[in-house]
Amino acid sequence: DTAVSQTPKYLVTQMGNDKSIKCEQNLGHDTMYWYKQDSKKFLKIMFSYNNKELIINETVPNRFSPKSPDKAHLNLHINSLELGDSAVYFCASSPTSGRGSKTQYFGPGTRLLVL
Amino acid sequence: AQTVTQSQPEMSVQEAETVTLSCTYDTSESDYYLFWYKQPPSRQMILVIRQEAYKQQNATENRFSVNFQKAAKSFSLKISDSQLGDAAMYFCAYRGGRLGNEKLTFGTGTRLTIIP
């Protein structure tokens, strides 16, 4: 009965590779997000999707491409991985109306290590 | 742009005592939301408490309460009767109220240690 899930939880890969992180929420929310947490624990928004439409793109390199096949899923694909991409990536979701609206609920995070 | 400042990188408190974590923010918006999230070593981001800017009453959730001072743009978190399980990084976060501004802007976090 996990609310927001991410796969994989850990990802170790070589520089230059392409990788994807998947996110699914079963809360019925219509907005989903990707955040990056760097080695100093600072959290920053990357993307936001509302009903499969891109709402926020915070000057993220175009090697990062989010894909939302439906309201419940928001995947993150990263091309040509670089050392600086090593971080924890969090998916989150929120309802835009009703109880709990405006509150974001986070997945468990994916720790990405680029060697 | 909105900014969130947490001026205490680390705090410690004796078990069963009370501790207050500070947070200030800067915004030109009148409608917004403020949150405290907890991140234990498991790295899961857990919502602790939320406050709507239009509400004058301070939010409380069991042992957690906030002191929301809108004019001063201050949003501190008070943890009463601290427990060992409260040890974590605590992040203050701001969310604008208008459509298209749904992102959370986080502070740099406060690492809270509980001393048994």
Q: Over the stretch A68-94, which tens digit does the pLDDT of each residue have? A: 999 999 999 999 999 999 999 999 999
CB atoms closer than 10 angstroms to residue A58? 13
Amino acid at position B89, single letter: M
Chain A: residue nearest B3 by CA?
A44
Chain A residue numbers with beta carbons less than 8 Å from the beta carbon of B90 are: none
**Which residue is listed with tokens 């740099």?**
B108
Question: Closest chain A residue to B49 measured between Cα atoms?
Answer: A103
Average pLDDT over residues B78-88: 98
Q: How far apart are CA B46 and CA B40, in angstroms?
A: 8
Cβ-defined contact of A58 to B103 (cutoff 8 Å): yes
CA distance readout (Å), B84 to B49, B81, B91, B113: 19, 10, 18, 8
Confidence of residue B99 (pLDDT cuts 50, 70, 90): confident
C-alpha to C-alpha distance for A21 and B105, rounded to whole angstroms? 23
Considering Cα of A4, then A36, then B64, then B112, what sign does the dihedral take?
Answer: positive
pLDDT at residue A1 is higher than 70: no
In single-letter form, the type of residue at position B47 comes to L
CB-CB: which of B52, B89, B95 is closest to A41? B89
- Record: contact B103-A40, CB cut-off 8 A: no
A106 compared with A49, residue with greater pLDDT: A106
Are the Cβ atoms of B106 and A43 closer than 8 angstroms? yes
Task: Please give, rounded to a whole number of angstroms, the shortest distance from the CA of B72 to a CA of chain A.
Answer: 23
User: From residue B49, how far is each of B26, B38, B68, B78, B93 by CA, in Å?
Assistant: 20, 10, 12, 11, 11
A106, B35: Cβ pair inside 8 Å?
no
* B112 close to B21: Cβ distance less than 8 angstroms: yes
